[in-house]
Amino acid sequence: MKLLYQTHSPFARKVLVFAYEVGIHQELEVVHQETSPTQRNERVFAQNPLGKVPVLIRDRQGPIFDSDVICAYFDTLHLGRRLIPEVAETRWLALRMQAVAQGLAETAIGLRWETVRRPSQYRYRPLIKGQTEKLISTYAWLEQELDRAGPVHIGHIALATTLSWIEFRELPSFRSISPGLSTWLDEFCRRPSMLATPLSGDTQD
């Protein structure tokens, strides 16, 4: 299998961390592809009409995207404990955490557009304020709701890769708001799957 990847994407990193956690990373050929809303990457568009990574290219089968779907597919390729739980409430709580992490990443990406990437004369301050408030409220929610003691699941992976990306991009921090969340992330980032998939590089617009 070939994974179209990006070294500075929280979504791509989530997929690769998942592959390490379930022990199938050696089956992947990881190929970095620069993508941006302002720069068309024909190789990626040929596999995903949205032009985004990650994309999983399989032999004699169609490509799979986005990160949620690729992780669900990976969870069918191993014989160990499922990282997307199958039992009722455990499953919904893990998927809820994944949804929060994905929304947090999308909000942070939107905030970065308004504070860094968009030309300064076009930045919309009410949107900056609103996106920042969403981050802060989510940090506070996670401090109360994150299951720090249970076995690793898809929600933990999605959250760790999102929070580490937020720090990588120097966006509003959760450290002073959520000390328990901060401790959990520091511990999670010492896992081999995270150490093997460091973030690097910058978006090419």
Mean pLDDT of 39-56: 96
What is the tens place of the pLDDT at every residue in 79-109?
Answer: 999 999 999 899 999 999 999 999 999 999 9
69 and 98 belong to one structural domain: no
**Per mean pLDDT, which range of 26-30, 33-37, 77-81, 191-195 is the poorest?**
33-37
Number of domains present in the structure of the chain = 2
- Given a cut of 90, whether residue 149 has pLDDT beyond it is no
Segments forming the whole domain that contains residue 47 = 2-74
108 and 169 belong to one structural domain: yes
How far is the C-alpha of 48 from the C-alpha of 62, rounded, in Å? 10
Distances from the Cα of 31 to the Cα of 5, 55, 65, 71, 98, angstroms: 6, 10, 15, 17, 25
Calculate the dihedral angle through the C-alpha atoms of 126, 53, 48, 78, rounding to the nearest 10 degrees: -130
- Given a cut of 80, whether residue 205 has pLDDT beyond it is no
- Given a cut of 80, whether residue 115 has pLDDT beyond it is yes
Could you say which of 46, 74, 102 is where a domain stops? 74
Determine the pLDDT at residue 76: 97
Q: Is the dihedral of CA 25, 27, 30, 36 positive or negative?
A: negative
Could you say which of 32, 52, 74 is where a domain stops? 74
- Given a cut of 90, whether residue 68 has pLDDT beyond it is yes
